[in-house]
Amino acid sequence: MTAAYVALEGGHVLEGRGRSPGTARGELVFTTAYTGYEESLTDPSYEEQVLTFSYPLIGNYGVREERFEDDRVHPRAVLAKELTTDVVDWLESEGVPSVDHLDTREVVTDIRDGGAMKCGIAVGEDVTEEDALEQLGQCKGMSEHTDIGAQVSVDEPVVHGADNAGPDVALVDCGAKGSIVDSLVARDATVHVLPYDVSEADVAAIDPDVLFISNGPGDPANYEEAISLVRAFVEDTPVAGICLGQQIVAEALGGTTEKMAFGHRGVNQPVLDLESGQVVMTTQNHGYTVAEPGDHLEITQINVNDDTPEGLDGLEYDVLTRQYHPEANPGPEDTLDFFDDVLAMAPAKTTTAVPADD
């Protein structure tokens, strides 16, 4: 059996079965999702993290590229109770180490008790505990990855739905999932996917009907360019955001954010709408949250489990954000109307009448 060691912050070392080989380091987190392993593994929000699946069997319905949220695997390593050969082959082709035959209940309990933690992974024929501990010693905290956006964003602008007749959306790509773009394009929007550090001048040249800040990994305070964009455009342009996008918008408008103990990652997070009293089930993947919304935003939805903000609306500006992922695949479809509400903020398109021939 191929050796595999997982060194946890604090010195505890776990031993499992090595599947795909290699060494890695990152923040150890877990997801409670029963399905959607392909979507989770290609979610850019997992960049620089080691993903533990709490559900015991991962890979029982194969691997299909059409389910991917991005063109590569983003977690630095993968832990599970049992991984199928299909998933292992995929991870190996991506150079992502994986370990199974672990007591993932113990791993999840450690994270819940101690919070998300640094870890080091070593998988291979000749690896030792010391190799995993060496990786752990080189691991940074998430707040230290000050330019993590560069690892997950497009390098150049990309336009989707160019022939659509609906609003023009400037989507700042801080690690956007493909299904966010698909959800907007399906509603007749033209989506301009822009680098995470796009300039104010380049956004202004598009003259967008909506400025949209995407999901992504890391500390929202490190996305200084996106924060500045929101401040520059919010008075004249509707602003929307998902996940990290909600946190960035809050930071831009006088709110504050904070790191959570172990975050929300799964497909069954209950969210209460404060106006209607309705509870909806949501898909989530985040380790930071809005601590205080500030004077320009109001909290409209909260997490039933811990009361953290799940939805923000602007008090004097056209702003609409969600902490969860309305577009999640697979997952609940209770909140897909978020995209309709976002596009409804856009000014109505006007056309110039062409005079009839005499």
* 49 annotated ligand-binding residue: no
b or e along 237-248 (b: 16 or more beta carbons within 10 Å of the residue's beta carbon)? bbbbbbbbbbbb
Residue 340, phi-psi category: left (phi > 0), alpha (psi -120 to 50), beta (remainder): alpha
What is the pLDDT averaged over residues 177-187? Answer: 97
Strand partners, 122: 5, 23
Question: Residue 232 corresponds to which tokens in the numbers above?
Answer: 């520059």
Q: What is the pTM of this model?
A: 0.95
At 140 the pLDDT is 93
At 330 the pLDDT is 80
* 323 annotated ligand-binding residue: no
Which is the catalytic residue, given 9, 69, 310, 327?
327
What does the domain layout of the chain look like in residue ranges?
3-140, 149-344
Lowest mean pLDDT among 141-145, 208-212, 322-326: 141-145
**Cα distance between residue 228 and residue 196, in whole Å:** 11
Nearest-CA neighbor of 50 among 177, 143, 142, 173?
Answer: 142
**Cα distance between residue 233 and residue 7, in whole Å:** 45
At 358 the pLDDT is 42
Q: Are 170 and 192 in contact (CB under 8 A)?
A: yes
Q: Are 136 and 281 in contact (CB under 8 A)?
A: no
Domain 3-140 in this protein, CATH class: alpha beta
What is the pLDDT averaged over residues 229-236? Answer: 98
**Cα distance between residue 44 and residue 215, in whole Å:** 8
Judge whether residue 183 has pLDDT over 50: yes
Lowest mean pLDDT among 81-90, 176-185, 325-334: 325-334
* 135 annotated ligand-binding residue: no
Strand partners, 169: 191, 210
* 143 annotated ligand-binding residue: no
Local confidence band at 354 (pLDDT 50, 70, 90 cut-offs): very low
At 11 the pLDDT is 86
Task: State yes or no: is 316 an active-site residue.
Answer: no
Residue type, 66: E
* 285 annotated ligand-binding residue: yes
**Cα distance between residue 282 and residue 51, in whole Å:** 19
Domain 149-344 in this protein, CATH class: alpha beta
Task: State yes or no: is 101 an active-site residue.
Answer: no
At 291 the pLDDT is 98
Nearest-CA neighbor of 101 among 5, 186, 27, 24?
Answer: 5
Local confidence band at 350 (pLDDT 50, 70, 90 cut-offs): low
Query: To the nearest whole number, what is the mean pLDDT of the chain?
Result: 95
Nearest-CA neighbor of 83 among 56, 107, 65?
Answer: 56
* 164 annotated ligand-binding residue: no
Task: State yes or no: is 192 an active-site residue.
Answer: no
Q: Are 240 and 320 in contact (CB under 8 A)?
A: yes
**Cα distance between residue 23 and residue 121, in whole Å:** 5
Local confidence band at 332 (pLDDT 50, 70, 90 cut-offs): confident
Q: Answer whether 3-140 and 149-344 agree in fold.
A: no
The 10s digit of each residue's pLDDT in 51-91 is 999 999 999 999 999 999 999 999 999 999 999 999 999 99
Which is the catalytic residue, given 27, 174, 243, 310?
243
Local confidence band at 351 (pLDDT 50, 70, 90 cut-offs): very low
At 329 the pLDDT is 82
**Cα distance between residue 42 and residue 69, in whole Å:** 5
Which is the catalytic residue, given 192, 264, 286, 325?
325
The maximal CA–CA distance of the chain, rounded, in angstroms, is 87
Judge whether residue 186 has pLDDT over 70: yes
What is the pLDDT averaged over residues 327-352? Answer: 85
Local confidence band at 1 (pLDDT 50, 70, 90 cut-offs): confident
